[in-house]
Amino acid sequence: MKRIGVVGFGRRIDHVLKNVTKLSDGRVTVVAYHDPSAKAAERVQAAYPGIRSCHSVEEVVTASDVDWVFIGSFNALHSGHAVAALDAGKDVFCEKPVATTREQCMDIVAARKRNPSKQFIVGFVLRYSVFYRTMKEWIEAGRLGQLISMEFNETLSPYHGASMHGNWRRKSEWSGPMIVEKCCHDMDLMLWMTGSQPARVASFGGLTFFKPENAHHNDMYPVGEEGYRYYDRGLATGYAVGDEENITPFNDDKDTIDNQVAIMELENGVHISFHFCMHSAQQERRFYMCGTKGTIRGNVLTGTLEYTPVGWDAKTETIRPIAGDDHGGAEEPMAQDVLDCMLRGAPTPTTLEDGLRASFTCFGIEEARETGAVINMHPYWVDLAKISQ
């Protein structure tokens, strides 16, 4: 039996825990939590009868009946919460991103070194999807040959983007740069698929749509069947249920952006472009990889994965390994792997090191956007190796 304490009990960690406890057959139970939001408390008490509400993070992580700490608080708080949990001798499941600044990465690595026997799982849920696992198998089987270049993207529906611009994610002090908050998943997948890391990056991006002068867009469409105005739907249907100050996405109360592009050259010579937009009427999360022996294209949101070999009369093989949903059918497989790690000590497929590399990649891209310069990533990787030693 493993007992879980939760720090930051919002929408996401609730979803993770429902799957973990459902699959656990009573071998895992949620015993305590800390969340400063009264709204979150009300929801948690109703959904987890008998759970103990704690007044502080410290109270959760030091509780003698807590074995694992699950962290689902705002991004910028993750490292502090993870350090507290590790130093209290607890194993950790931490939602992505593990850290939003280099200093937070250092803190978390130091705590990990002080507590080397503790487990640490990062919630990179997409890695557990059979969709991406099949893509990775195809690459490892040599179907691409040598990867030459690729593009990938993440484009959100307008009301998903709106929800993010109307909740805590609009402020970098809580969420970090938007590339870290939303795209650390994509960077992790790119690092995993290519087996390499960026040598140079450039990036442009900014806030183009979710601004006060575009508020009239919310009046341009009729109220939907669920009774919401178009741009209110995401917040109203709970993209971030713990947040108590959801506001109009067309606010001027933020320092974040809604679109960004990046180009990268990897250490292995592969050339890459990435596109992120928070306002798309055609959502995609697509990988398009061109190799010496074939090409792979896959959009996890439609669940369609295609492979075409190079050659005369080449036929495209199209499979649909998943039905297609936000996370590629990965929620239950992730819950099963988390359980295996918790109950049998099985190694996690998504480690702290994966989390740090994804964050560092995003930090480099953000530096490129902020400065307008092409960033040499070598010092980032030297730095990461140094703090990881």
What residue ranges bind ligand NAD (CB under 6 A)?
A: 7-12, 34-37, 40, 57, 72-75, 77, 95-96, 123, 125, 168, 181, 240-243, 327
What Cα–Cα distance (Å) separates residue 111 from each residue in 82, 121, 354? Answer: 8, 15, 16
What's the DSSP call for residue 97? Answer: P
| DSSP per position, 34-46 | E-S-HHHHHHHHH
111: left (phi over 0), alpha (psi -120 to 50) or beta: alpha
Least distance from ligand NAD to the Cβ atom of residue 244, Å: 7
Residue 140's SS3 state is: helix
Q: CA 352: distance to chain centroid?
A: 13
Q: Residue 385 class from Cβ within 10 Å (0-12 exposed, 13-18 middle, 19+ buried)?
A: exposed
- Closer by beta carbon to ligand NAD, 80 or else 294: 80
Q: Which two tokens stand for residue 278?
A: 């928070």
| Other beta carbons less than 10 A from residue 227's beta carbon | 9
**120: Cβ–Cβ under 8 A, 6 or more apart, which residues?**
82, 86, 91, 92, 94, 112, 348, 351, 352
Q: CA 173: distance to chain centroid?
A: 17
- Closer by beta carbon to ligand NAD, 143 or else 182: 182
- Closer by beta carbon to ligand NAD, 70 or else 138: 70
Least distance from ligand NAD to the Cβ atom of residue 71, Å: 8
Q: What is the dihedral of CA 299, 305, 309, 312, to 10 degrees?
A: -90
Least distance from ligand NAD to the Cβ atom of residue 68, Å: 16
- Residue positions counted in the chain: 389
Q: E strands along the chain, which residues?
A: 2-7, 28-34, 52-53, 68-71, 91-94, 120-122, 147-155, 198-206, 259-266, 271-277, 286-291, 294-299, 304-309, 317-319, 375-376
Least distance from ligand NAD to the Cβ atom of residue 103, Å: 18
Q: Which two tokens stand for residue 245?
A: 């100050």
- Closer by beta carbon to ligand NAD, 323 or else 385: 323
- Closer by beta carbon to ligand NAD, 163 or else 280: 163
- Closer by beta carbon to ligand NAD, 9 or else 209: 9
Least distance from ligand NAD to the Cβ atom of residue 258, Å: 17
- Closer by beta carbon to ligand NAD, 181 or else 337: 181
- Closer by beta carbon to ligand NAD, 22 or else 27: 22
Least distance from ligand NAD to the Cβ atom of residue 302, Å: 18
Least distance from ligand NAD to the Cβ atom of residue 241, Å: 5
Q: How far apart are CA 206 and CA 184, in angstroms?
A: 18
- Closer by beta carbon to ligand NAD, 97 or else 291: 97
Q: Which residue is nearest to ligand NAD (CB)?
A: 10
Least distance from ligand NAD to the Cβ atom of residue 16, Å: 8
Least distance from ligand NAD to the Cβ atom of residue 200, Å: 27
